[in-house]
Amino acid sequence: MANTALVTPAASAAPTPGGSRRDADASARRRRGRIGRERPNRLVTVLLALASITVLIPIYVTITMSLKTSAQAVDGNAFSLPAPIDLSNFATAWQLTDFPRAFTVSTLVTLVTVAGTVVLASMASFAIARNWDRRLFRWSFYYLLAAMFLPFPVVALSQIKLTGLVGLDNPAGVALLHIMFQLSFSLLLFTAFLRSLPEELEESARLDGASTWQVFWQLVFPLLAPMSATVGIFAFLASWNDFAMPSLITADPSLQTLPVLQQIFQTQFSNDYNVAFASYLMAMAPAILVYLFTQRWVMAGVTQGAIK
Amino acid sequence: MATTRTEEGPRASRSGSTTGNPRRRGVRVDPVFHLFLLPTLALFTLSITLPAAMGVFYSFTNSIGFGEFQMVGVTNYIAMATDPAILSSYGFTMGFALVTVLVVNAIALLLAIGLTAQIRAKTALRAVFVIPMVISGIIIAFVFQFLFSNSLPAIGKALGITGLQDSILADAGTAWIGIVLVTAWQAIPSTLLIYIAGLLAIPGEVYEASALDGASGWKQLRSITLPLIAGYILINTIIGFKNFLNSYDIIVGLTNGGPGTSTRSIAMTIFTGFTGGDYAYQMANATIFFVIAIAIALVQLRITRGKAAV
């Protein structure tokens, strides 16, 4: 995923999402000019549509399986449409896995991760970007960024031990670690964006008597909103979908997140595929829904992350 | 690269507002800036740096995770070098990562070229191709596990394809293919988006000029597109390889390391130190893995620096 990303090849264009968007569109327009006389390439469209089936099949199977009766679910044809539609699978999965509790845990961990990442990373980025000529801030930037190259398995065993020692072997500890692992990626996006903000704005606010604290919260933080959206969405996806960290850090199985729950119940689902898929669907649906409404920022985030 | 740019940025903008460093040196930093940075720095040190240092320390002990322990020097490292479980997990993970990088980049590049061409329903198609990125790895692995062990054999039987009559995940010789496919399914979107950005950054004039010279289609792809996005190919390769070395979720969902231990990744082996009693030993494993990660990071930095200079 994107939190991996970063550091780029070719020197890249404007840092703001608006900017790179416009660039991309402009260059697309130029290309359209080049081949403007040609008709849309039907063959390529058809080939891409066929390729997209490979993306859609697992999702289609998940949805249709979750709606099938137990009899139909084991008939061996995964691609048939559900007939009749059986909605009781969701109720069964809901009760079996105690879905509301896991959903609450997942939601809390994710909310804390998103809020914590946006707030801590934007504050740190502001401090770093505005004090770049001071060694402490400059070195802190490289120090925090280095975590981008540190895989979770390297620190996992010690983190399990430490979180156990200080009573953080629970969702709170998971959220804290999620925030820490999102920092470098978020710092990179925020500092790049802060560089593009005209400093005159901040200076005139200071002349009007605003303190650094006020300048940040009343002026800079609102201006960071588009970047906060990108940073927040990536924190959301990383936290909501993570399996390794909660499964290793959280000691109490009843405080597990949705992805871990699917694994815990894997044996109990056994051949009730319809119930299992109803459970999978309920766990993955929130992320897909968020994506459908935030595509723009998701796509921009990957590109900016890699090209900064 | 990231670093170089940042270095230039704030400095350049500073020079406008202040007369260079000397004057500022006397000025104290507003304590609010420290308040903004230091708590994060402290949390980061406690939750990332300290565990990393602890891991390296324990790798030189015989600790079982609790109680007393002694320093044992490099004993763990020497034992690792001849441990078939360790060697096979490294062999599997490296081979898997290499194959997956090739598969992911080839497919993502093809899709990106298609998605930047003059096509219909461009926005909708792009939106669909990005979906796998937002689905939890372990859950989609469970979905594919079902498809590989139920649907694919059914299709194999119906069509009389001998190789597909049994689950590919049940055979040590083919289970890795399933893992490559699902990992690729999930990794293609981010790779694809980076390629799209790269392709859109190529000025249309370059193609116009080459078209005037009579170049088209395949020749344009080979002598213009590929050289101009070489940097993107490189970065996608490194980022991908680095990610695939960490593979865990998808493998747990598909094979859980089996059949036997044939698809056990480095991450899975390290995590066994948590329950398996060989705590210090797996710390040594994690430390070696750390060294590999640093080596890859240095290669990445070197390459991106080089590019920045161009």
Q: Which residues of B touch A61 (CB under 8 A)?
A: 143, 146-147, 151
Overall average pLDDT of the B147-152 stretch: 90
% of chain B beyond a pLDDT of 90: 56
- Locate tokens 């925020």: which residue? A190
Q: Among the ranges A142-151, A168-177, B229-238, which has the highest mean pLDDT value?
A: A168-177
State the maximum Cα–Cα separation within chain B, in Å, rounded to a whole number. Answer: 82
What tokens were used for A12?
């890249």
Phi, psi of B61, rounded to the nearest 5 degrees? -120, 180
pLDDT value for A37:
46
Neighbouring CB atoms inside 10 A of B78's CB total: 12
> For residue A254, what pLDDT band results from cuts at 50, 70 and 90?
very high
Residues 6+ apart with CB under 8 A from A96: A265, A268, A275, A279
Q: Is the pLDDT of residue A27 over 60?
A: no
Alpha carbon B21 to its chain's center: 40
> For residue A92, what pLDDT band results from cuts at 50, 70 and 90?
very high
> For residue B218, what pLDDT band results from cuts at 50, 70 and 90?
confident
Q: Which residues of B touch A275 (CB under 8 A)?
A: none
pLDDT value for B157:
86
Q: B169 with B255: CB under 8 angstroms? A: yes
pLDDT value for B105:
97
Q: Is the pLDDT of residue B222 over 90?
A: no
Which of B52, B127, B234 minimises the CB distance to A295? B127
Q: Are A156 and B13 inside 8 Å of each other by CB?
A: no
Q: Are B140 and A284 inside 8 Å of each other by CB?
A: yes
> For residue B306, what pLDDT band results from cuts at 50, 70 and 90?
low
Residue B26 falls within a domain, yes or no?
no
Residue B279 falls within a domain, yes or no?
yes
Q: Rounded CA gap, B108 and B247, in Å?
A: 19
Residue B146 falls within a domain, yes or no?
yes
Q: Which residues of B touch A153 (CB under 8 A)?
A: 246, 248, 266-267, 270-271, 286, 289
Q: Rounded CA gap, B123 and B262, in Å?
A: 41
Residue B168 falls within a domain, yes or no?
yes
pLDDT value for B277:
75
Q: Which residue has the higher pLDDT, A146 or B94?
A: B94
pLDDT value for A307:
58
Overall average pLDDT of the B153-175 stretch: 87
Phi, psi of B98, rounded to the nearest 5 degrees? -65, -50
| Long-range contacts of residues B38-41, Cβ cutoff 8 Å, at least 24 apart | B39/A120, B40/A120, B40/A121, B40/A123, B40/A124, B40/A144, B40/A183, B41/A124, B41/A140, B41/A143, B41/A144
pLDDT value for A38:
58
Residue B19 falls within a domain, yes or no?
no
> For residue A15, what pLDDT band results from cuts at 50, 70 and 90?
very low
Closest CA to A132 of B171, B78, B184, B6: B6
Q: Are A241 and B131 inside 8 Å of each other by CB?
A: no
pLDDT value for A306:
64
pLDDT value for A263:
93
> How crowded is the C-beta side of B82, counted as CA atoms within 13 Å?
3
> For residue A295, what pLDDT band results from cuts at 50, 70 and 90?
confident
Q: Rounded CA gap, B148 and A57, in Å?
A: 13
Q: Which residue has the higher pLDDT, B77 or B163?
A: B77
> For residue A147, what pLDDT band results from cuts at 50, 70 and 90?
confident
- Residue A195 contacts B, CB cutoff 8 Å: yes
The ipTM estimated for the assembled molecules is 0.86
List the single residue in A with minimal CA-CA distance to B25.
A134
Alpha carbon B63 to its chain's center: 31
Closest CA to A7 of B6, B301, B132: B301
Q: Are A52 and B125 inside 8 Å of each other by CB?
A: yes
Residue B220 falls within a domain, yes or no?
yes
Residue B254 falls within a domain, yes or no?
yes
> For residue B141, what pLDDT band results from cuts at 50, 70 and 90?
very high
Closest CA to A72 of A90, A95, A97, A89: A89
Q: Rounded to a whole number, what is the distance in Å from the CA of B173 to chain A's nearest CA?
A: 24
Q: Are B304 and A7 inside 8 Å of each other by CB?
A: yes
Alpha carbon B270 to its chain's center: 18
pLDDT value for B208:
83
pLDDT value for B297:
85
Helices marked H in chain A — which ranges?
A: 17-34, 42-66, 70-73, 88-96, 99-130, 135-145, 152-165, 171-196, 199-207, 212-214, 221-223, 225-241, 244-249, 258-264, 266-269, 273-307
Q: Rounded to a whole number, what is the distance in Å from the CA of A268 to chain B's nearest CA?
A: 14
Q: Global pTM?
A: 0.86
A39: burial class by Cβ within 10 Å (0-12, 13-18, 19+)? exposed
Helices marked H in chain B — which ranges?
A: 2-17, 20-26, 31-44, 50-58, 75-81, 84-116, 122-130, 137-146, 152-159, 175-200, 204-212, 217-220, 226-228, 230-245, 249-254, 266-271, 279-309
Secondary structure of B114-178 as H, E, C letters: HHHCCCCCHHHHHHHHHHHHHCCHHHHHHHHHHHHHHHHHHHHHHHCCHHHCCCHHHCCCCHHHH
- Residue B55 contacts A, CB cutoff 8 Å: yes
Q: A206 with A256: CB under 8 angstroms? A: no
Q: Which residues of B touch A72 (CB under 8 A)?
A: none
Whether omega for the bond prior to residue B51 falls within 30 degrees of 0, making it cis, is no
Lowest mean pLDDT among A137-141, A205-209, B16-20, B43-47: B16-20
Q: Rounded to a whole number, what is the distance in Å from the CA of B44 to chain A's nearest CA?
A: 6
- Please give the tally of structural domains in chain B: 1
pLDDT value for B26:
56
Lowest mean pLDDT among A98-102, A127-131, B6-10, B21-25: B6-10
Q: Which residues of B touch A199 (CB under 8 A)?
A: 13, 16-17
pLDDT value for B36:
96
pLDDT value for A21:
43
Q: Which residues of B touch A268 (CB under 8 A)?
A: none
CATH number at residue B255: 1.10.3720.10
pLDDT value for A13:
35
Overall average pLDDT of the B141-145 stretch: 95
Q: Which residues of B touch A244 (CB under 8 A)?
A: 248-249, 267, 271
Residue B12 falls within a domain, yes or no?
no
> For residue B42, what pLDDT band results from cuts at 50, 70 and 90?
very high
> For residue B305, what pLDDT band results from cuts at 50, 70 and 90?
low
Digit-coded pLDDT (tens) for A176-199: 999 999 999 999 999 999 998 888
Residues 6+ apart with CB under 8 A from B201: A10, A12, A13, A23, A27
Q: Are A45 and B5 inside 8 Å of each other by CB?
A: no
Q: Are A13 and B201 inside 8 Å of each other by CB?
A: yes
Q: Are B131 and A237 inside 8 Å of each other by CB?
A: no
Q: Which residue has the higher pLDDT, B256 or A304?
A: B256
Distances (CA, A) of B112 to A234, B200, B216: 22, 10, 18
Domains annotated on chain A, with CATH:
2-40+87-307 (1.10.3720.10)
Which of B55, B147, B189 minimises the CB distance to A155? B55
Q: Rounded to a whole number, what is the distance in Å from the CA of B23 to chain A's nearest CA?
A: 12
pLDDT value for A194:
93
Q: Which residues of A touch B51 (CB under 8 A)?
A: 155, 158-159, 162
Q: How is A15-75 classified by DSSP, letter by letter?
A: SSHHHHHHHHHHHHHHHHHHTTTSPP-HHHHHHHHHHHHHHHHHHHHHHHHHTS-HHHHTS
Digit-coded pLDDT (tens) for B82-104: 999 999 999 999 999 999 999 99
Q: Is the pLDDT of residue B241 over 80?
A: yes
Average pLDDT, chain A: 86
Q: What is the domain extent for residue B123?
A: 83-309
Lowest mean pLDDT among A29-33, A236-240, A256-260, B209-213: A29-33
Q: Are A6 and B37 inside 8 Å of each other by CB?
A: no
Closest CA to A194 of A116, A148, A130, A135: A130
